[in-house]
Structure 1
Amino acid sequence: MKQDSSRHFVGRLFAHLTWITLLGVFYLIFQGRLLQQNDPNHALQVSDNHQPVVLQRNRQGHYVAPGTINGQPVQFLLDTGATDISIPGTLADTLRLTPGRVSYASTANGTIKVYDTRLDSVALGGLSLADVSAHINPHMQGETVLLGMSFLQHLELIQRGDTLTLKR
């Protein structure tokens, strides 16, 4: 009788382990697929030769990509409607940015108070600029930086379909 119950236990254990393994494999497959849909540029390579940067539009229709501010990694959301680079307040603290003069920015939700700042360097792929104007937005949630025209105006932007090419 004990042998039957231990066989039954081992059988159930293997069945549970099989299901857990299958669920883990499905999770990994779909997690990678979701990452590719939501952040197709997550593996953007940084090059030093000023080569054009080619970005793919994500599932929501936005261009997001990793980059750096003052040599520290950040996630950018390209925003041609933003005059300056807009940095969430909590991220600005992490980046040790100094808030400067108070100014006001017009947003879809109205006018807000922001703090001007200068960035020593901003880089996206192999494209980098020094001494770029930005503002610290204490009202922004999350860690995503809006990459506005204070950076983008120095580049040529070519959009074809779901691809945006940026070059000097």
Structure 2
Amino acid sequence: MIAKNPETRYFLFFVLFWVALLGVASLFFGSWQSHQQNPNQELVSQNSNGVIEIKLEANRQGHYVANGRINNEAVTFFLDTGATSVSVPESIANEAGLKKEYQARSQTAAGTVNVWGTTIDTLRLGDITLRNVSATINPATDMDIVLLGMSALGQLDFSQSSGTLTLRTTDN
């Protein structure tokens, strides 16, 4: 039903225009903000003479965040050289099919928590694939991000310079 009154039609057009404009702006700024938190959403790997290399850009807070996979399940990693092992929130562990192997206690920034030890069959960052990675399942966190600790990072060569972290491996 189209309004017959010209003022009503102009008003409806005006409202629809602004709703559409705000919708497009919301999509644009949501994507922009996501990129600010994780500038490494699509990793580009370089493979030269058996050496696979990935360069990660630091986010605005100076942290390295990157998309990857655990057992073919898409995840977001927060690289943490201060963490002993990979720490997976329980909800992500369930989605990735991780099994609780043994109970343990872990010291975190929030204090000591009960966790479950597990093994990640495959962990991927770009073209770098790590197998049989020691990890913990943390039921005490509701974050949607995986802490990528030294049980994974220790299998790689890495160096940092001017806001760029370079990860390298030869074992694939």
TM-score (norm: length of structure 1): 0.88
SS at match of 1:166: strand
| Amino acid across the alignment from 1:158 | S
Please report the RMSD computed on the Cα atoms of aligned residues, expressed in angstroms.
Answer: 2.0
- The residue type equivalent to 2:72 in the other structure is G
User: In the alignment, which residue of structure 2 is the partner of 1:29?
Assistant: 28
CA distance in 2 between counterparts of 1:95 and 1:19 reads: 42
Task: Determine if contact 1:72/1:95 at 8 Å carries over to the other structure.
Answer: yes
**Map of 1:114 onto structure 2:** 115
CA distance in 1 between partners of 2:158 and 2:72 (Å): 24
Instruction: Indicate the residue corresponding to 2:126 in structure 1.
Output: 125
Counterpart for residue 61 of structure 2:
60
Residues 159 and 108 of structure 1: is their aligned pair in 2 closer, same or farther, counting only changes over 3 Å?
A: same
- Number of the residue aligned with 1:94: 95
Quick one: percent identity of the two aligned structures?
A: 41
Deviation of 1:34 after TM superposition, in Å, equals 1.2
Instruction: Answer whether contact 1:47 1:125 (CA < 8 A) is retained.
Output: no
Matched position secondary structure for 1:58: coil
Deviation at 1:154, TM superposition (A): 1.3
Which consecutive residues of structure 2, in runs of 5 or more, have no partner in the other structure?
Answer: none
Name the CA distance, whole Å, in 2 between partners of 1:106 and 1:87. Answer: 14
Residue pair 2:46, 2:53 contacting (<8 A) in 1 also:
no
Amino acid at match of 1:109: A
Query: How far, CA to CA, are the matches of 1:94 and 1:50 in structure 2?
Result: 31
Aligned residues: 165
Superposed CA deviations along residues 96-142 of structure 1, whole A, max 9, x for unmatched, are 21111212211122222211111111111111111111111111212
Moved over 4 A (4+): 45-50
For residues 25 and 138 of structure 1, the distance between their equivalents in structure 2, rounded to whole angstroms, comes to 37
* Alpha-carbon distance in structure 1 between the residues aligned to 2:108 and 2:135: 15
Amino acid in structure 1 at the alignment position of 2:88: I
CA drift of 1:45 comes to 4.3
Deviation at 1:21, TM superposition (A): 2.6
Shift of 1:23: 1.8
Q: Does the Cα contact within 8 Å between 2:72 and 2:96 map onto a contact in 1?
A: no
Give, in angstroms, the shift of residue 156 of structure 1. Answer: 1.4
Q: Secondary structure at the match of 2:82?
A: coil
TM-score, normalised to structure 2, is: 0.86
> Which secondary structure state, in structure 2, belongs to the residue aligned with residue 52 of structure 1?
strand
